[in-house]
Chain A
Amino acid sequence: MSQDTVIKAEGLNLVFETNDGPVHALKDVDLEIDKGEFVSFIGPSGCGKTTFLRCIAALETPTGGGLSVNGMTPDEARRNRAYGYVFQAAGLYPWRTIAGNIKLPLEIMGYSRADQESRVKNVLELVDLEGFGKKYPWQLSGGMQQRASIARALAFDADILLMDEPFGALDEIVRDHLNEQLLQLWARTNKTIGFVTHSIPEAVYLSTKIVVMSPRPGRITDIIDSPLPKERPLDIRDTPEFLEIAHRVREGLRAGHAYDD
């Protein structure tokens, strides 16, 4: 385990017992994520990418193997506020303003009033929502709501940001814009990001490491370290390097399906 390893999975297994018998959601997953990496998990439905993210967040408990987050068990890491989690939907409380929603984790974790205010101000700036603190969620567009939910995950200084298809419900144009902003945010905050997605271009555009997964049982079929520079304008998606990585991801996904019908 190198000095910089933040998340380390060794022979991780997770079996759900269901009425139709056991379902192997994760099988023998080995993965190391270093500090400051942007790791995407890509694969078809049922490949265990969301499950793996939930294991890191201690929302699911693995049935076998080892998983450490910041050198601790996921449970301890959660209690130490190691990560912020962004869900598929923004999940803002409708009875709280945007600022109130961002304060929610801060209230729960017992930050002082003054600290709360300054943190809300900081993260609103970080996601380009200055001046929207007093608005209610329904007054914001879907993309703005998702940005607010990212701000909420950033508010308490967790080093790790776990994102479960955060832009899945948004249209392509908004998604491009948010991807660009997310990269800028990542560059400014130097967080370690775990990002689950369905989209190959999104994964390649954002990541320093792409984890290709396949279903039944859920497992990793390929891990691709991206050679793309950290500075990425949107039109990098037309370069040969980009297309080459995208091709390799597609091949990995296809291989995972090889013995499917």
Chain B
Amino acid sequence: MRNVLPILTVVAVLLGVWYLAVAPMNFRLALDAATRGGADVTPATPDEQGQTGLIRLMLDNPSVMPAALSFERPRLPQPQAVVVEIYENTIGLARNCEWQGFGGERDNWSPLSDGCLRVIENRRSLIFHAWQTLAPTLLGFAIGTGLGVLLAVGIVYNRTMDLSVMPWAIASQTIPILAIAPMVIVVLNAVGIQGLLPKSLISSYLSFFPVVVGMVKGLRSPGAMDLDLLRTYSASGAQEFWKLRLPSSLPYLFASLKIGIAAALVGTIVAELPTGARFGLGSRLLTGSYYGQTVQIWAALFMAAICAALLVWLIGAVEKRTLTRLGLVR
């Protein structure tokens, strides 16, 4: 509970900045609308307004201020508009579904009812889109982690791989993922692979790297004395790996997994952007920007942030459990 106050303080500051920015961001749009609606504004014509500074306009037209704050298609929506959007496209939708589709009582709503579960299939719901993004993220994360661990083992045990793989792994991360994503999708599509896998591959492309770096460091973390000890027992290479190197690397692995899963989520969303994906948080971002639906964009962004936070928290929980069981956390 000690952490709550600092977190709330930061959230409050961010919200404050957000609220302060809403009026200036939307004021010109609101003023335009007011001018077209024939309201009494100074200066009176759009041309003159364009040549006047924003602060001047705001000071001269206080009557437009309420409209600017609650503008319908704003450049920057108010925070509560985003919250309402998220609610309506998740829980609200579930309640409506049940109410409309099944004739049930609106007050008898339960989170495990059919209506609620249907939200996962409902294409309007953010939960549906979040799951469309999460599924490839999890698969991509699994692929990336597996690949990363394998590469790290190769790099630690094979001198040729040590010299050859690491530079390529680093080079791979310098290429903009946005440039590669469409090509991967197109190429895979040409050989008949569609759906989950192409997105997953792009997401694993981002998530394997931190795992490689962390695992190489972790597998190399045992000191000369630890290795000498095993030599005095004439231990085999496999015994050295399972009894010393792998357990030593676990704290490093978990640190990498936290970065990796966040990167995997970013990778999936990025994979959805340039490929015209119809589902997923990335597609919500894209359609939102096509149609100027900033509220929709913000809602998708927040949903992505919530997903990332949950994933990182999940890894953290597994980490704590594992390391405590291994006696590595006191």
Contact = CB atoms under 8 A, between A and B. Distances in A.
Interface string A60-91: 00000000000000000011010111011101
B18 to A, nearest CB: 46
B243 interface: yes
A16 to B, nearest CB: 15
A120 B290 CA distance: 70
B225 A93 contact: no
B229 A108 contact: no
Main secondary structure of the interface of B (DSSP, over half): helix
A55 B231 CA distance: 13
Interface string B288-330: 0000000000000000000000000000000000000011101
Contacts of A81: 233-234
Contacts of B244: 93
Contact of B234 (A78, A94, A96): A78
Interface in A90-135: 91, 93-97, 104-105, 107-109
B146 interface: no
A248 B311 CA distance: 69
B225 A91 contact: yes
A242 interface: no
B327 A57 contact: no
Interface residues of A, number: 24
Contacts of B247: 93, 95
B233 A59 contact: no
A94 B233 contact: no
A108 B225 CA distance: 17
A85 B229 contact: yes
B235 interface: yes
Interface residues of B, number: 19
B327 A136 contact: yes
Contacts of A78: 231-232, 234
B228 A138 contact: no
B81 interface: no
Interface of A: 57, 59, 78-79, 81, 83-85, 87-89, 91, 93-97, 104-105, 107-109, 136, 138
Given A78-B231, A88-B225, 11 more contacts: A59-B228, A59-B231, A79-B234, A84-B232, A89-B225, A91-B229, A93-B226, A95-B327, A97-B327, A108-B239, A136-B327
23 contacts: A57-B232, A59-B228, A78-B231, A78-B232, A79-B234, A81-B234, A84-B232, A85-B228, A85-B229, A87-B225, A87-B229, A93-B226, A93-B243, A93-B244, A93-B247, A94-B328, A95-B247, A95-B250, A95-B326, A95-B327, A96-B327, A97-B327, A108-B239
Interface of B: 225-226, 228-235, 239, 243-244, 247, 250, 326-328, 330
The list of the 5 closest CB pairs from A to B, nearest first, reads A95-B326, A136-B327, A85-B232, A108-B233, A105-B233
